[in-house]
Structure 1
């Protein structure tokens, strides 16, 4: 009995669940104050985000048309893309072309790190068939053979693909070489993918039969092991819209104001087959990420809507004097 008594908790309001509680009544006046506070937060944050986005330096250039003029050749066709039929383009694997696109001159001093992105339009990575056509167990090294989920890209000439699926088969394979005032500028691809993806979603094994045959390729060969190829890992993170951009590399040196920036493009990815546009982007970032005026404007618009609602509820609270209810103590 003594031991049982010693183990009893102290008699406090918390242990006996006798804490005072209040259940606020959402009257028009009370709701008006809450909406006013929320509106002030949204409007303030929206203007901060908008000013923050203005600090970001972003340059871009479309290059699929520029490279198209030099011809997009295939292993079986030797004519330029202008003379190819739509059907031939749809089935073109391509040996690639090269072209140089200009991003203009640096409008101001651009402080490193400077991020390089590629952008594609009219490509539905979020389509159900594309999203399902992969084997996460295979990517994590838990099995060597892919499942039927990888269809229609499960095998090549009767041999198993690893990793399999449309996502792995269609990996972006254009490359970029950056020049500043005609001088090459080093671009790093280290840590362009998420650390969690590298450590937990992609195993350290060598791929087999993934775009190693130009006649059947859909995109890039995996360089090294699956875990080492960060361009592949970035591509495998599915985009949510048909127009998207993905990180390709990082320039870790500053660019002076007025310096000319050009990019030598190796044009391999056949966006002509689905009528997609391709772009290259240079961008700096801030604590809120890249340039996103829409995010700031959404906050400002929502803030003003909340402010209007707050005023209307405040008027209702004055016109219809609500009866003040006593607080209940539980």
Structure 2
């Protein structure tokens, strides 16, 4: 018989030390931890405020086309949409960057008083459908089925649910003021990229349905479905500028489907294109200072829930975007 020598370890009788907590030991420990938090908090605050950011509230922007720059019209897009829900409204906003924004520069949109965290709103989606199976589950009700106005047939909505139905659909075009050799002013469009803005973990949850044999069109994959009632276009036409960024795998759609925890939030809209080529060589180091104008296609109504809309230009630090909250918490803990 194999004999295993007995030991304190086997008998769970190892010696141990249990500190006795007293005022004299606890207070100095807390003080030292608090002192250590001060430089950490200051470092986090400095890093946060190194992020360059420009934020513009365009909720009440005036209806104005590029050809109406000198028009004195005072019609607000918010008022126009309230009277004409299916109408089109564009507005122009002049802005100026007082410093060069170092790369990488991102474009965000922000909403205020929009509760994406509402219990019924968060549940109003069909994750099985988002993986490319074109059914509409009852969790999407009342945004699961509707009659297709083209043929009068009741069809499943793709994508279904309240989250998809309320997709943010304002569009932005940023243009920079430049001068030619004769010192004549003009505007050049800032190149934007609408891919690479969604988390990889989120992109894995969205798949387009397979395209039928004999077709090379994504539209054929969505036959037998109808787009959400609040959408002006089909899901396979979300990004006309990039045929690979359409359907359920459209990154702007994926970003929107990640619901925000608070009623005031921002979401990534696009990235400034910084790669080097003849067209946008001036943006390889970032976004140059100077005067710009912003053309907005104003589609998303916010007056009904007393909300506000914001356009944000920002870059990042090693910590991410501007967020002084973490640094402030570290300093407050010490205090």
TM-score by length of 2: 0.75
1:130: which partner in 2? Answer: 121
Aligned mates of 1:209, 1:68 — CA distance in 2:
31
1:313: which partner in 2? Answer: none
- More helix by proportion, 1 or 2? 1
TM-superposed deviation, 1:268: 1.2
Q: Given the alignment of the two structures, is residue 110 of structure 1 paired with residue 105 of structure 2, yes or no? A: no
Q: Which secondary structure does the structure 2 equivalent of 1:48 belong to? A: helix
Contact 1:60/1:103 (CA < 8 Å) preserved in 2? Answer: no
Among 141, 156, 160, the residue aligned to 2:146? 156
Q: Map residues 251-262 of structure 1 onto 2, 5 A cutoff.
A: 251=272, 252=274, 253=283, 254-255=285-286, 258-262=289-293
Among 59, 64, 79, the residue aligned to 1:64? 59
- CA gap of 1:115–1:257, structure 2 versus 1, over 3 A, is closer
TM-superposed deviation, 1:262: 2.4
TM-superposed deviation, 1:160: 0.9
1:209: which partner in 2? Answer: 226
- CA gap of 1:146–1:100, structure 2 versus 1, over 3 A, is same
Q: Which secondary structure does the structure 2 equivalent of 1:66 belong to? A: coil
Q: Which secondary structure does the structure 2 equivalent of 1:64 belong to? A: coil
Q: Given the alignment of the two structures, is residue 89 of structure 1 paired with residue 102 of structure 2, yes or no? A: no
1:73: which partner in 2? Answer: none
Q: Given the alignment of the two structures, is residue 238 of structure 1 paired with residue 259 of structure 2, yes or no? A: yes
Aligned mates of 1:133, 1:93 — CA distance in 2:
24
Q: Given the alignment of the two structures, is residue 301 of structure 1 paired with residue 320 of structure 2, yes or no? A: no
| Superposed CA offset, 1:120-156 (max 9, x none) | 1121111112112111222123x43222211221112
2:214: which partner in 1? Answer: none
Contact 1:62/1:277 (CA < 8 Å) preserved in 2? Answer: yes
Q: Map residues 1-330 of structure 1 onto 2, 5 A cutoff.
A: 1=1, 5=2, 14=9, 17-68=12-63, 89=82, 93-105=85-97, 107-141=98-132, 143-157=133-147, 158-181=154-177, 182-199=187-204, 201-205=205-209, 208-211=225-228, 216-218=229-231, 221-222=234-235, 223=238, 225-251=246-272, 252=274, 253=283, 254-255=285-286, 258-304=289-335
Moved more, 52-61 or 145-154: 145-154
Moved more, 117-126 or 174-183: 174-183
Q: Structure 2: which 5+ runs fail to align?
A: 66-74, 148-153, 178-186, 210-220, 239-244, 275-282
Aligned residues: 280
Is the radius of gyration larger for structure 1 or structure 2?
A: 1
Q: Structure 1: which 5+ runs fail to align?
A: 71-79, 305-330
Q: Which secondary structure does the structure 1 equivalent of 2:249 belong to? A: coil
TM-superposed deviation, 1:166: 0.5
Contact 2:193/2:270 (CA < 8 Å) preserved in 1? Answer: yes
TM-superposed deviation, 1:14: 4.7
Aligned mates of 2:94, 2:290 — CA distance in 1:
12
Aligned mates of 1:83, 1:62 — CA distance in 2:
13
Aligned mates of 1:51, 1:276 — CA distance in 2:
31
TM-score by length of 1: 0.76
- CA gap of 1:217–1:257, structure 2 versus 1, over 3 A, is closer
| Superposed CA offset, 1:22-46 (max 9, x none) | 1212211221132123212322221
| Superposed CA offset, 1:85-110 (max 9, x none) | 9xx828x54332222223322x2221
Give the root-mean-square deviation of aligned CA atoms. Answer: 2.7
- CA gap of 1:263–1:13, structure 2 versus 1, over 3 A, is farther
